[in-house]
Copies of this chain bind each other. A is one copy, B any other.
Amino acid sequence: MKKLINRPENFVRESLEGMMLAHRDLIRINYEPSFVYRADVPPQGKVAMISGGGSGHEPMHSGFVGHGMLDAACPGGIFTSPTPDQMLAAAKQVNRGAGILYLVKNYSGDVMNFEIAIELAHSQGIRAVNILIDDDIAIKDRLYTQGRRGVGTTVLAEKISGAAAEQGYNLHQLADLCRKVNLSGKSMGVALSSCTVPERGIPTFTLGDDEIELGIGIHGEQGKEKVPMKSGDEITDILANSIINDPNYCRIVREWDDKIGKWVDLELLNKPFEKGDRLLAYVNSMGGTSIAELYLVYRKLAEICELEGLEIVRNLIGPYMTSLDMQGCSITLLKLDDEMIRLWDAPVKTPSLRWGI
């Protein structure tokens, strides 16, 4: 393993330190427990958006802390969930009296720890709700996840909901919006290579010289299938058509009901895309794939969407949710409405996403 690191066990902290030195105008970091939060103090009465998860996916989530996106991010170890005390401490730091929306990717460890954090927050008089992101259509019910995994839609939900929070949405309006974003997005990824966790020092899984893995997870966990290497257009075709042809997906998710102070089970439904839908197309690098290759994927994706009568009206292309040094990409399609477009276009100023300011 060759990486620009010192001792593997210090990697996450030293990288965060560098990030803060580079972006003192935007972020602050608390250590023990560790969380990244906005340098500016939003007005009293603004709902706070907090996300978090294992490290190794940079710039997600810490790179998205700032005006118009997250109020705080809780980084765990590499590919390891953060702990409830990080989430509670972050909530205390950024709470402006209007409650916390915890945005949670659907992995068992994250789900459990954020649920504990919500109960802790409530016991200390801080309102908090959880919205789950479970947009990966590739697989369902595996060792580390019940239902579908949370992937690319997370970044889009952070941007759109972050803008809404900035514009004064209250906690329930924000939860409704964020749930809508999750129900409007579908993703699938592909790995051309494995990734190497610094503390382990060897690749997480193996792929043959002429083999790729469709439906790969963002931690290198098992995807849908290993298949022989294909052209960029063929790979794009498989990912895009799997997403576009994904049937109704119905599941029960557990959310904290802030009004009655209890956990409730909600039945949620993703519907397939329909001709005439307006989309945000997000082509994401897994870390080791160049932007030139992402544009080649986008070219084919745009062609497929046009053939299907789907109109791409916004896009995001780059390494925003990575898996360390993995080569490969993921595609996320998000069905937009006027509200989401307006919020997507709203100003944002974070270390890794910035426009309009």
Contact = CB atoms under 8 A, between A and B. Distances in A.
Contact of A59 (B193, B209, B291, B297): B291
A319 B317 contact: no
Interface stretch (A102-110, A219-227, A323-331): A323-331
A231 B11 CA distance: 11
A160 B327 CA distance: 33
Interface of A: 2-6, 11-12, 14-19, 21-22, 55-56, 58-59, 63, 192-193, 209-210, 212, 229, 231-233, 235-236, 287-300, 302, 315, 317, 319, 322, 324-325, 327-329, 352, 354-357
Given A232-B3, A317-B22, A355 B352 contact: no
A290 B210 CA distance: 24
A192 to B, nearest CB: 4
Contacts of A17: 295, 299
A116 B80 CA distance: 57
In the complex, the count of this chain's copies comes to 2
6 contacts: A5-B293, A6-B296, A15-B293, A59-B291, A287-B290, A291-B322
Contacts of A328: 4
Given A17-B299, A22-B317, A288 B4 contact: no
B352 A291 contact: yes
Nearest to A14: B296
Closest 4 CB pairs of A and B: A18-B299, A18-B295, A4-B293, A4-B232
A18 B288 contact: no
A16 B56 contact: no
B355 A58 contact: no
A248 B199 CA distance: 43
Given A317-B22, A352-B291, A2 B229 contact: yes
Contacts of A292: 11-12, 15, 55-56, 58
B290 A322 contact: yes
A329 B17 CA distance: 18
A228 to B, nearest CB: 11
B291 A11 contact: no
B2 A193 contact: yes
Interface centre among A11, A296, A325 (most CB of B within 10 A): A296
A15 B293 CA distance: 7
A357 B327 CA distance: 32
A192 B4 contact: yes
Nearest to A207: B2
A299 B14 contact: yes
B55 A18 contact: no
A5 B177 CA distance: 37
Contacts of A15: 292-293, 295-296, 299
Contacts of A287: 288, 290
A288 B325 contact: yes
A296 B212 contact: no
A329 B5 CA distance: 12
A317 B26 CA distance: 15
Contacts of A209: 2
Given A4-B192, A355-B357, 13 more contacts: A2-B193, A5-B293, A14-B232, A17-B295, A18-B294, A18-B298, A19-B295, A21-B299, A22-B302, A291-B322, A354-B354, A354-B355, A356-B357
